[in-house]
Amino acid sequence: MANKIAVIGAGHVGEMTACHLVMKNLGDVVLTDIVEGIPQGKALDMWEQAPVEGYDCFLTGTINLADIKGSDIVVVTAGVPRKPGMSRDDLLSVNYKIMAELAPKITEYCPDSILIIVSNPLDIMVATANKLGGFPKERIMGMAGILDTARFRSFIAMELDVSVESIQAMVLGGHGDSMVPITRFTTVAGVPIGELMPQDRIDAIVERTRMGGGEIVKLLGTSAYYAPAAAVVEMVESILLDKKKILPCAALLEGEYGVEGIFMGVPVKLGAKGIEQIIELKLEAEEQAMLDKSVEHVKRLMDEMEKLA
C-alpha cells in the first residue's frame, strides 16, 4: 500500500511540497486547508499532470481535516507568512492560535504519524505542537536547518563557481537571524572553505544566509516556498525510505549542546522511526557562544508563547 502523507495548509509551501512529494513518487498526498475549493482545485490540477509526469501517487484535496486520518507523515504548513518588514517572531500570536487548534486533532487522527512542522516562528511552533499534541520526541520535528544550509551552500556555489553538490555545510540553532552557520564544517569536496576564500567573503556569505529569508520576502512580498518545500521533501524522503540521512532539523534537546527542553536546529539522523539520533558536534568556544545566543532568542520567544497559552 502506498504511503499516506498529509500536507496541512495548501498555500505556497503546502502546494509545492505536495507537488514534489508526488513527483518523487513518495506517497499519496492529502492536501488540506480551510478555504473551500483551494485544496481540492490544487490537488486535482496536480493529479491531472500525473499522466504527463508519470507518477501514480494520488492527491486528495479537502477542507475536512479528518481526511488526514491514518497518515504516515503529517506536514504542517498552515499559518501566515511574513510580509516585508516583518520578522518571523511577529507571526507568533496568529500562528500560535492555528497550531493550538491543529495539534490535538493531528494527534487524534494520526497518533502514529511523524510530524514535520514548517509554520513560523518555527522553533516555537514545533514546541507548541509538541505541548498540545503530545507526540514522542522522535516523531516531532521542524524544518528549517536544511533550508538555511541550502541557502548557505547555494551562495558558496555562486561565489566559487562550483557545483552545489560539491558543497557540504552545517547551520545550527534557531530559525532566525541568530542562526549559526558553522564555517569550520563547511567544505567544498572536503576542502574547508577557509582555504578557498578570504574571511571577509565568508563573513558576507554567513550574513546573507542569516538574512536569506528576509531577502526573499523583500523581493516577493511573501516568504519563500520553492527551497522550503524541497527541504521538507528531503526530510520526508529520508524517513519513508529509511535513508538515515544526517540533516539539520529542529529537535527537542534534552541536555544536548547544553540545552534543556527547547526545540532547535541540530544535526539528526532521520530514518523510518523519525529522529533516530541527535548528533552532537564538538563546538569551539566561539561557536558555542553563538549557539547560546540563539538559544536565548528561542527561550525568550518560548516565554511569549507560554503567555499566549
Site of interaction with ligand NAD (CB under 6 A): 8-14, 32-35, 77-82, 91, 95, 98, 101-102, 118-120, 122, 143-144, 147, 175, 222-225, 228
Cβ-based nearer residue to ligand NAD, 55 or 225? 225
Cβ-based nearer residue to ligand NAD, 14 or 133? 14
Q: How far apart are CA 300 and CA 60, in angstroms?
A: 39
* Residue 68 Cβ vs ligand NAD, minimum distance, rounded to whole Å: 10
Active site residue 175: yes
State how far the alpha carbon of 52 is from the alpha carbons of 49, 56, 303, in Å: 5, 11, 50
Q: How far apart are CA 25 and CA 22, in angstroms?
A: 5
* Residue 282 Cβ vs ligand NAD, minimum distance, rounded to whole Å: 27
Q: How far apart are CA 177 and CA 154, in angstroms?
A: 18
* Residue 41 Cβ vs ligand NAD, minimum distance, rounded to whole Å: 12
Of 92, 218, 74, 213, the closest CA to residue 144 belongs to: 213
Other beta carbons less than 10 A from residue 56's beta carbon: 10
* Residue 261 Cβ vs ligand NAD, minimum distance, rounded to whole Å: 21
Question: What does the block give as the cell for 216?
Answer: 526573499
Cβ-based nearer residue to ligand NAD, 76 or 193? 76
* Residue 200 Cβ vs ligand NAD, minimum distance, rounded to whole Å: 28
Question: What does the block give as the cell for 181?
Answer: 552557520
Cβ-based nearer residue to ligand NAD, 187 or 212? 212
Give the residue closest to ligand NAD by C-beta: 11
Cβ-based nearer residue to ligand NAD, 45 or 101? 101
**Number of alpha carbons in the 13 Å side-chain half-sphere of residue 50:** 19
SS3 state of residue 205: helix
Question: What does the block give as the cell for 70?
Answer: 491514518
Q: What are the residue numbers of the active site? A: 175
